Amino acid sequence: MASSLKRILVAYDFTAASRNALDQSIAFARGRPIRIHVLHRVLPTIDALRSLSRATGRWDEIGRFLVDYDVQQAASRSEELAGLVARVGGGIEMDYSMAEGGSVADVVVSKAKSFKPDLVAIGSHGTHGVEKLVLGSVASELLQRIDNAVMFVSSQASSFTGASGEAILVPVDFSDHSHRALAFARVIAELHASPLHLLHAVERLHSPFSPRGLTSRFEEDEALKPKYEEAVLDMLGETPGTVTVEEGSPAGAILRKREGTRAGLIVMGSRGLTGLPHLLAGSVADKVARFSEVPVIVVR
């Protein structure tokens, strides 16, 4: 668990989502001693077309062409990245590297081991746009393989700046993961002088005697909601912010509350009290990261 935010690793593939991930990282670093490293994975065309060229019986000719093409593409990408770093300015410490071979998750995990970032930033829809954070996607694999907090930013997300009292939404369920997420949220809140909004969602109980098949826990026990509110307030402590306890599915409650509070950032744990594996298809973190209109940081 990071007690500070000093290093950010950005997985960059030149898509709109990865550009937004970089922009958010720059917003965190502006005016602060935060170092950003931009990592680009080179995808060799020669690997993708190797079988085709062999099928034509012209491997030598096609292979040489593809090797030359890949060299040119790598040089072009390197030039673009260098220009991107040069344009940032503002006293921000930022550099870049390019990696070949292995999957996106492989190169990010490898770089994370040496760079030791407090946060890994990635576009939630990269070059494989059909992968919407389901089991087996790059995002899911990253959360299973690294201990760092991971920030997912969609192509539609706007950067969180903390301007005009913009809040940070922190869903909590009293698990160790949500306590670690809250600690990370406090770090960002201090950087931006932003208030926190803690949300605890209580799922309704299934009941064959209810018209909708669900029954309210709060109606069955009127003292329950105040108890939850007191517990969430205890978690908030002296940190500036507010708390909400409401009934509903966790993912739905988080997305509705984000819109209702106009929070500019969501920080949440990778799993809750159930201890289920990270980002299982249909999980709370999966749904929130997929449908959120603001950056989502998932904390291990």
pLDDT at residue 280, as a whole number: 41
Tell me the Ramachandran region of residue 12: left when phi exceeds 0, alpha when psi lies from -120 to 50, beta otherwise: beta
pLDDT over 60 (residue 54): no
The whole-number pLDDT of residue 277 equals 44
State the average pLDDT for the chain. 83
For the entire predicted model, the pTM comes to: 0.84
Which range has the worst mean pLDDT, 35-49, 186-200, 207-221, 241-255? 207-221
pLDDT (mean) for 80-87:
91
SS3 198: strand
Q: Which amino acid is at 117?
A: P
Residues near 93 by beta carbon (within 8 Å), at least 6 away in sequence? 29, 33, 34, 35, 36
Query: Would you give the distance in Å from CA 103 to the centre of its chain?
Result: 18
CATH architecture, domain defined by 163-283? 3-Layer(aba) Sandwich (3.40)
Q: Are strands 296-299 and 149-153 parallel, antiparallel or unpaired?
A: antiparallel
What HEC string does 92-150 produce?
A: CEEEEEEEECCCHHHHHHHHHHHHCCCEEEEECCCCCCCCCCCCCCHHHHHHHHCCCEE
CATH topology of domain 7-153: Rossmann fold (3.40.50)
Q: If pLDDT is split at 50, 70 and 90, which confidence band does 103 have? A: confident
Q: How far apart are CA 94 and CA 134, in angstroms?
A: 31
Q: Residue 163: what pLDDT?
A: 85
228 pLDDT above the threshold of 80: yes
Say whether pLDDT at 126 is over 60: no
If one compares 42 and 31, the residue with the highest pLDDT of the two is 31
Same fold, 7-153 and 163-283: yes
Domain spans of the chain, in order of start: 7-153, 163-283
Distance CA 126, CA 118 (A): 22
Query: What's the average model confidence in pLDDT over 59-67?
Result: 59
- pLDDT of residue 136 exceeding 50, the answer is no
191: alpha, beta or left, given left = phi > 0 and alpha = psi -120 to 50?
alpha
The pLDDT assigned to 50 comes to 54
Q: Answer yes or no: are the C-beta atoms of 247 and 203 closer than 8 Å.
A: yes
Beta partners for residue 244, in sequence order: 199
Question: Given a cut of 50, is residue 128 above it in pLDDT?
Answer: no
Look at residue 130 and tell me whether its pLDDT is greater than 70: no
- Cα–Cα distance for residue pair 80/283, rounded to 1 Å: 37
State yes or no: pLDDT of 286 exceeds 70.
yes
Structure tokens at 215: 């029954």
Higher pLDDT, 118 or 206: 118
Give the integer Cα–Cα distance in Å for 183 and 295: 17
Does residue 167 carry a pLDDT above 70?
yes
Residues 224-244, mean pLDDT to the nearest whole number: 95
**Cα–Cα separations (whole angstroms), residue 162 to 105, 121, 158, 186:** 30, 18, 12, 13
pLDDT number for residue 210: 57
Helices (H), the chain: 16-29, 45-48, 50-56, 59-88, 104-115, 138-145, 176-192, 217-220, 224-236, 250-261, 284-291
Inform me whether the pLDDT recorded for 112 exceeds 60: yes
Q: Quick one: how far is CA 261 from the chain centroid?
A: 20
